[in-house]
Structure 1
Amino acid sequence: MSSFHPTHPETVFTYGAPGLKFGVGARHELGHDLAQLDAKRVLIVTDPGVAATGAPAEIAASLRAASIEAVVFDRSRVEPTDESLEAAIEFGRSEGPFDAIVACGGGSSIDTAKAVNLLLTNEGELMDYVNAPVGRARAPRHRLLPLIAVPTTTGTGSESTTICVLDVVSQHVKTGISHARLRPTLAVVDPELTLTQPAGVTAASGLDILCHALESYTARPFGSYEHKQAHERVPYCGANPIADMWSEKALSLMASSFRTAVQNGDDLAARTEVAMAATFAGLGFGNAGVHIPHANAYPIAGQVRDFQPAGYDVDHAMVPHGMAVSLTAPAAFRHTFQASPERHIRAAELLAPGADRPADPAEFLPQVLAGIMREVGIPAGIGAVGFGTADIDALVEGTMKQQRLLATAPLEVTAEAVAMILDQSIELW
C-alpha cells in the first residue's frame, strides 16, 4: 500500500465541539438552557422506544413548566432511512416554526433532528445534501436553529459531531450528510438516562465508542495532507494532538468500565464512565475522523437481509451501527498496523493494560478488540449477521462509495484491500 507524501504538507488542523453539560441530573436544566437561547417554541425529536421510557415526556413537561412550548415528534426510526428522515422533515415543516430543536435519544434520534434542522432552515430536498457520490453534497447556505442533543445511549457521539447518518433505501447504501453547521449547539449528557439501555444496546453502542477512538487515533495524520486553503478544509482533518488526547482517555475509561456497564446496567458509576468515554471519543473523532471500519459498516448495515439484534425493539432487519463497525475492525486494524505500529500497540495497551503481547505485534490490537467483542456478546463476524463470501463484491462496492471516510485512512485503500478485510471478517473466532 502506498503512503502519503504531500508536496506542500498541511500545517493547520481544526477543532470544533458543541457546548457541553455533563452529569447526573443535567437533563433537568434544559428549561434554563433553552431560555438562554431565547427559545419559546421547541421541537423534541425522539423515537418510540425512548418515548416509552418517559424521558421525552418528562423533558417536555419541564419545558412547559418553564413557559416553553414543546411539540414532540416520537417516530424517529432506529437506523434512519431517507424515507424516515423525509417524514420527520415533513412533520417539522407542518408543525413549525420553531426556535430550537431538542433531540432526545440515541444517534438515530439525534441524526434525525439534524436532518430536520437542516431542511427547516435551508431550501431543497434531502438528497441535495447527502454526501457524494450517493447524493449531491450541497452545503447549507443558511444557519441552522439551535440544537440541543440529549443522548440516551452511549456510543454514537452524534451529540458532538457534524455528521447525520442514513440509509438510502433505493441504493441499498448507508451514507451521511456532513457539514460543520450540523454540529449541535449544546450536548446535555446525563448518564442517568442510559440506565434503561439494554445490555445488547450497551454492547453494540460501546463498540462504536471503541472504534471512534481507535479509528481517530490511527487516522491519517493531519500533516500528511496537502496544504489546504481555509475554505477547503473539512471537519475530518486527520489525527492531531487534541483529538489524540480525547481518544486515549476514552480508551482508558472503556478499559475500566465497559464490561461492567454491559453486565450490570444499574451500576451508575460504570454508566457515567462509559458516557464520558462516549463524549470524549465523539470530541476526538468528530475532528480527526474515522476510516475503514466505519466505511465497511455502511454497506453491512445497508445490505442486511434478516438479522435482528438482541436488545433492540425493532420490526425490521438491522445490524446496529456500532456492531456493524466492530465486525471488520480487527481485520482493518491488522491491515493498517504498518502505517503506525506504535499507535496500534499503544491503543491495545490502553484497552488491555498488562496484557501479554502476541509474537506478531500486528495481532495485538486485533486480538484485544476481538476479545472484548466476544466478552460483551457481539456476533463472531459478518457471517454471523448473514453475510458470506458471495456478498463480498457488493459490500466492497458499498465501502468504496464512502470516500469521505476512506480519505482519512492511514494507507491508501483499494477495493482489493477491502475485499481482504471483509473476507478475514466472516468468522473472527
Structure 2
Amino acid sequence: MPPSPATRSSIMRLMNASRHVACPCHTCSGGSGNAVGGLLHNFRKFATPVDIPSKEYAFEIAAANLRFGDGVAREVGMDFKNMKARKVGLFTDPNLVNLYPVRTAIQALEAEGVPYEVFDRVAVEPTDKSWEDAIAWSRTHDISHFLAVGGGSVMDTAKAANLFTVYKDADLYDFINTPVGKGLPITQTLRPLVAIPTTAGTGSETTGTAILDIPSLNFKTGIANRALRPILGVVDTYSTDSCPREVHISAGLDVLFHALESYTAIPYSERSPRPTNPKFRPAYQGSNPISDVFSMWALRETITNLPRVSKNQDDRDAKRQMLLASTFAGIGFGSAGVHLAHGMSYPISGLNKTGPKFKMPGYAVSHPIIPHGISVALTGPAVFRFTAPSSPDRHKEVLALFRGISQTDDSIARLSNADVGPALYEAIAEFLDSLGVPRGLKKVGYTSADISRLVDGTIPQRRVLDLAPGIGDVAGEDGREHLTSILEGSLEY
C-alpha cells in the first residue's frame, strides 16, 4: 500500500525542526547550510513528491499621505473642494461633535461651500451593530467623500462605511479577516477618505486596518486591506487638547505596543507561504528594515513623552511628540504588523462586556469598557518575557530604551540571553506602574477560571498570531500552550 502524501503541516514541522536545530534564534543565519542539507535529506524520505512551501522574499510599505502641524484641520475644506466632493460624510462620536476638532472641520467645509452631512453615532470601541448602523446611514445618504474626525473607533467605522457603501450588497463577514469571516479581496476603488485623529494612539490615519468587537463571539477582529487606507491623514496638534488624562494614557499605550510588537514581529522573510501574486501580499508582513526605523523612533518618543503627558496634559511639546509617535508607529506596524499583546487584547476587551464588566474610570461611556490600550498593556510584561529568546539583541535594545541608557552600557551588554526576558518584564511593568495601569488581569475582574475562554478568543486572531515569534515561525504551532502560559502570567504582577 503506497504511503499517504505528506501533509503541509508535517512538511513545515520538518522545515522548522531543521532550521531550529541549526539555530533557535529566528534572526540568525548561522548554520544554514547544514539546515538545508538536513531538510533535503528528510524530504527524500517521502515517497510522494511534494512542493516545498516557499518563504516570502519581499515586503511592501504603504501609508497614507500625511499633513502635520498646528491648526491644519482648517485646511480640509480646501482639500475636499480640490477633490470636487459632491457630498462629504463627516463621521464622529457624540463626545466630539461639539468640540474643537469637529467644529473646525465643519467651519472648513462651510467656508469652501462643500456640502456635508454629519454622522455622530460612532460608538467608542465599535461593535458589529454600530458598524451596521453607520453603513446603513452611509448607503442611504449619497456620500461621495468621507471625513473621519476622531480616534481609532471613528476612523475604523468610517473605513467600514466607505467599504460597504461601494460594496452595497456585501455582507459584513465577506471582508472580515479569516477565519472569522471570508476575508475577500477588495477589488473595487473605494471613495476618498480623509482622517483627522483626535487621539495620539491608533495610527489609523496611516493604515488599512479597521477593528470591531463582535459581542456574540466575545472578541474583536477586523478587516485589514490597503484599500481601506485614508488618502490623507491630517494630524492637527490641537486636536488632542480635549482628551482626558485616561484617554491620553490608553491611546499612548497603543502607540507603545504598536512599536514594540512591530519591532519584534517575525522578520518578513520568515513568513510562509509566499503569495502567488503581489496583490495577495497581506497588509501585515513581519518586521522589515523600513518599519524598524519608524517603530524604534516611535518607541523612544513614547517612553519619553507619555509619562510627561500623564503628569501634565498641558505639556504641548510632549503631546506633539506623542502625535508624531502615533503616526510613526502606524507606518511601522502598518507593514510589519502586531502580534501577541494585540491578539490577546481582543478577547480581553470583548469578554468584559459579559464577564467582569469592568468600566475604566475617566471614560464617558455608560457600558463596561477596558479601553484598547489598557487591554493591550495588561499582557505586555509577560508577552515580551516570552518573545525575548527569539531575538535577544532586539529585546536588549528595547530594554535599554526603557532604562534610559545606552545598549552598550555594561548592565545591558553583559546581560545573558536567558536574562533578557525577565529584565524586560520588570522594565515594562515599572513603566506601566508609573502610568497607573491596572496591575494585571485580576485588577480588571478576570480570574484563572477565565483563561481558557481568553485563549479561545485569541486563537482565531491568525493575522497577528502568525507574526508572533515562537508561534508564527514554528510550523504547526497554533499557540494555545504559550497563550495559556502568557495569560496566566498576566493575572497579576
Taking structure 2 as the reference length, the TM-score comes to 0.84
Aligned residue number for residue 392 of structure 1: 451
Greater mean alpha carbon deviation, residues 250-259 or residues 100-109: 250-259
Segments of 5+ residues of structure 1 without an aligned counterpart are: none
Letter in 2 for 1:239: S
Aligned residue number for residue 228 of structure 1: 275
TM-superposition CA deviations, 1:130-184 (whole Å, max 9, x none) = 1122222122231111111100001111111111100112212211111110111
Larger Rg: 1 or 2?
A: 2
Q: Does 1:28 align with 2:79?
A: no
* Contact 1:379–1:385, Cα closer than 8 Å, also in 2: yes
Aligned residue number for residue 421 of structure 2: 362
Mapped partners of 1:271, 1:114: distance in 2: 26
* Contact 1:246–1:284, Cα closer than 8 Å, also in 2: yes
TM-superposition CA deviations, 1:14-41 (whole Å, max 9, x none) = 1000000011111111112222322131
Aligned residue number for residue 339 of structure 1: 390
Aligned residue number for residue 427 of structure 1: 492
SS at match of 1:71: strand
Aligned residue number for residue 170 of structure 1: 216
Mapped partners of 1:86, 1:7: distance in 2: 39
State the percentage of identical aligned residues.
Answer: 40
Letter in 1 for 2:302: M
* Contact 2:78–2:108, Cα closer than 8 Å, also in 1: no
Aligned residue number for residue 344 of structure 2: 296
Letter in 2 for 1:316: H
Mapped partners of 2:271, 2:345: distance in 1: 25
Greater mean alpha carbon deviation, residues 291-300 or residues 35-44: 35-44
Aligned residue number for residue 57 of structure 1: 103
Letter in 2 for 1:411: G
SS at match of 1:150: strand
Q: Does 1:188 align with 2:239?
A: no
Q: Does 1:198 align with 2:263?
A: no
SS at match of 1:427: coil
Mapped partners of 2:193, 2:396: distance in 1: 38
The match for 2:301 among 250, 253, 257 is 253
TM-superposition CA deviations, 1:315-357 (whole Å, max 9, x none) = 1011111110111011011111111011111012123312865
Aligned residue number for residue 202 of structure 2: 156
Aligned length: 427
TM-superposition CA deviations, 1:45-104 (whole Å, max 9, x none) = 000111142421331122011010121111100000000000011111222x12210100
TM-superposition CA deviations, 1:260-311 (whole Å, max 9, x none) = 1111111111100000000000000010000000000000000003111122
Measured after TM superposition, the shift of residue 224 of structure 1 is: 1.4
Letter in 1 for 2:233: A
Q: Where do 1:269-280 residues align within 5 Å?
A: 269-280=317-328
Mapped partners of 2:90, 2:53: distance in 1: 48
Mapped partners of 1:171, 1:248: distance in 2: 35
Aligned residue number for residue 403 of structure 1: 462
* Contact 2:256–2:303, Cα closer than 8 Å, also in 1: no
TM-superposition CA deviations, 1:351-408 (whole Å, max 9, x none) = 3312865782222322222111111111111111111100000000000010111011
Aligned residue number for residue 314 of structure 1: 365
Q: Does 1:117 align with 2:162?
A: yes
* Contact 2:175–2:181, Cα closer than 8 Å, also in 1: yes
Measured after TM superposition, the shift of residue 7 of structure 1 is: 6.0
Greater mean alpha carbon deviation, residues 241-250 or residues 347-356: 347-356
TM-superposition CA deviations, 1:185-211 (whole Å, max 9, x none) = 111111211111111111111111010
Aligned residue number for residue 483 of structure 2: 418
* Contact 1:199–1:262, Cα closer than 8 Å, also in 2: yes
The match for 1:217 among 247, 263, 268 is 263
Mapped partners of 1:173, 1:158: distance in 2: 20
SS at match of 2:405: coil
Mapped partners of 2:242, 2:338: distance in 1: 28
Aligned residue number for residue 379 of structure 2: 328
SS at match of 2:240: helix
Mapped partners of 1:263, 1:92: distance in 2: 40
SS at match of 1:51: coil
Q: Where do 1:112-151 residues align within 5 Å?
A: 112-122=157-167, 123-151=169-197
* Contact 1:73–1:88, Cα closer than 8 Å, also in 2: yes
Q: Where do 1:2-41 residues align within 5 Å?
A: 8-41=54-87
The match for 2:152 among 107, 112, 117 is 107
Segments of 5+ residues of structure 2 without an aligned counterpart are: 1-15, 21-25, 27-34, 36-51, 472-477
Letter in 2 for 1:103: A
